[in-house]
Amino acid sequence: MRPCDRPGLLDLDEALARLAAAVPSPSWEALKADRDDPALDLSAMDGAAMRSEDGRKARTVVGTLFAGDDPARFQLGPLEAVRIMTGAALPEGADCVVPVEILRDMPDGIVPEEDPRPGDHVRKRASHAKAGTELLPPGLPLNAARVGLRAWTGLPAPAPKRVRVGIASTGDELSGDPMPWQIRDSNGPMLAELAHNLGAWALRLPPLPDVKGALTERLSDLTGLSVLLTSGGVSMGERDLLPDALRDLGAEILFHNLNLKPGKPMLAAMLGRTVVLGLPGNPQSAYLNARIFLPVVLARLEGSVIPRLWRQGVLAEPVPNAGARPLLQPCALDGFDLHPLPNRGSGDLAALARADACAWIPAGGAAPGMARYFDLI
């Protein structure tokens, strides 16, 4: 993406960077090996452990070692061998492993069909790391491999914890049984499902009022919430009160107004230790901006790696974009092909519901060919 050249509007990449930098994340200490890895010489193959100096002479098999067996029960002398499985520790006296594929069984034992050499098919003690070696520097976010490495060194896996995300729509026009001048709340259930699908604990909250004093009072008590998702109340109307209410409570506004369509009035703030994502009220805009920003927040709060947003596909048809802002275009995804869907703007929830993906269309439009997109969840 090119840097934003529209005064007052923030580029999406910069907004994502600001959000990631501001959201608190668990700090993981440096990870050190608690012992040599491997702790003993281990077999790298199924076969037989033996002394290489005995060459191709027949060996008497004195036992078998499996991974996890104590090797101290065997001490190999001349012309002796132990059948050994991958991952088992070598017994005293053995300095090599001959794979089963090049062993010949004889009435009086086994014979290697090639000259064994010291160290053949052996994972030497401390060949991966010596005790005390730093395996990971401090501060890295956790992923599955790093969790596994922590367990390898004897540290417990972090306890799984679902982030509590509160979801509240704004607007006195919301009604469960609407009159013609009212609407149903579709954003609340939609955003709760998105948060749930992203692994969060989604909590539906009562709608936020369109009265500043009452709104400020509601926002002043977010006990138990790590994230608050709101929809509506962030634009320029007389009842778009969320930005001022947050400022009155001392919130740090990370950004407000993006160079993006839909999503221009998008807001993010830190209110104490709660992350507030103030989403625009139109359903497409609310969902797409939550889809972009919420995974970043959840990953940071969990101390995990921020998932990749963008994928590469092929735009099957041209998409015009006469506006000055980049456009998020709902598409049907067929393999790698992106087929733009008819779309009547940010209030068109039906177009979003029919889509599998959303393509990035720069200002000026896009011709058929390579394009970036993200999946809809």
- Domain of residue 321, CATH code: 2.40.340.10
Shared-domain flag, residues 119 and 135 = no
pLDDT of residue 183: 59
pLDDT of residue 10: 98
Shared-domain flag, residues 295 and 168 = yes
Query: How far is 70 from 45, CA to CA, in rounded Å?
Result: 18
Number of domains in the chain: 4
Assigned token pair, 166: 């509160």
SS3 at position 22:
helix
Query: How far is 41 from 88, CA to CA, in rounded Å?
Result: 9
Contact (Cβ atoms closer than 8 angstroms) between residue 214 and residue 204: no
Contact (Cβ atoms closer than 8 angstroms) between residue 362 and residue 329: no
SS3 at position 41:
coil
- β-pairing, 42-43 vs 122-123, is antiparallel
pLDDT at 11 over 70: yes
SS3 at position 62:
strand
CA 200 to chain centre: 13
Comparing C-alpha atoms, which of 110, 125, 104 is closest to residue 43? Answer: 125
Q: Of 302, 333, 356, which one is at a domain's C-terminal end?
A: 302
Assigned token pair, 49: 């452990």
Shared-domain flag, residues 226 and 115 = no
1 in any annotated domain: no
Reported as a single tens digit per residue, the pLDDT across 35-55 is: 999 999 999 999 999 999 999
Reported as a single tens digit per residue, the pLDDT across 127-183 is: 999 999 999 999 889 888 999 999 999 998 887 789 999 999 886 666 666 657 555
Reported as a single tens digit per residue, the pLDDT across 206-248 is: 988 888 899 999 999 999 999 999 998 898 776 689 999 999 9
Contact (Cβ atoms closer than 8 angstroms) between residue 47 and residue 66: no
Shared-domain flag, residues 86 and 205 = no
Shared-domain flag, residues 147 and 194 = no
Q: Of 274, 302, 330, which one is at a domain's C-terminal end?
A: 302
Q: Of 302, 332, 359, which one is at a domain's C-terminal end?
A: 302
CA-CA-CA-CA torsion for 49, 55, 56, 59, nearest 10 degrees?
-50
Shared-domain flag, residues 229 and 118 = no
Query: How far is 171 from 185, CA to CA, in rounded Å?
Result: 9
Q: What's the mean pLDDT in 360-376?
A: 97
Query: How far is 257 from 250, CA to CA, in rounded Å?
Result: 19
3 in any annotated domain: no
Query: How far is 134 from 22, CA to CA, in rounded Å?
Result: 28
262 in any annotated domain: yes
203 bridge partner residues:
166
Tell me whether the omega of the peptide bond preceding residue 99 falls within 30 degrees of 0, making it cis.
Answer: no
Q: What is the mean pLDDT of the chain?
A: 93
Contact (Cβ atoms closer than 8 angstroms) between residue 294 and residue 305: no
Shared-domain flag, residues 175 and 295 = yes
Q: What's the mean pLDDT in 259-288?
A: 96
Confidence of residue 3 (pLDDT cuts 50, 70, 90): very low
Shared-domain flag, residues 293 and 166 = yes
pLDDT of residue 1: 47
Shared-domain flag, residues 213 and 270 = yes
Shared-domain flag, residues 199 and 250 = yes
Reported as a single tens digit per residue, the pLDDT across 82-126 is: 999 999 999 999 999 999 999 999 988 999 999 999 999 999 999
Confidence of residue 67 (pLDDT cuts 50, 70, 90): very high
Shared-domain flag, residues 49 and 72 = yes
pLDDT at 187 over 70: yes
Among left, alpha and beta (phi > 0; psi -120 to 50; other), residue 226 is alpha
339 in any annotated domain: yes
Query: How far is 77 from 91, CA to CA, in rounded Å?
Result: 11
Contact (Cβ atoms closer than 8 angstroms) between residue 303 and residue 23: no
7 in any annotated domain: no
pLDDT of residue 235: 83
CA 163 to chain centre: 14
Shared-domain flag, residues 330 and 262 = no
CA-CA-CA-CA torsion for 296, 197, 201, 227, nearest 10 degrees?
30
CB within 8 A of 286, min separation 6: which ones?
A: 187, 190, 191, 231, 232, 279, 280
What residue numbers bound the domain in which 139 lies? 31-35+128-152
pLDDT of residue 175: 60
- Domain of residue 290, CATH code: 3.40.980.10
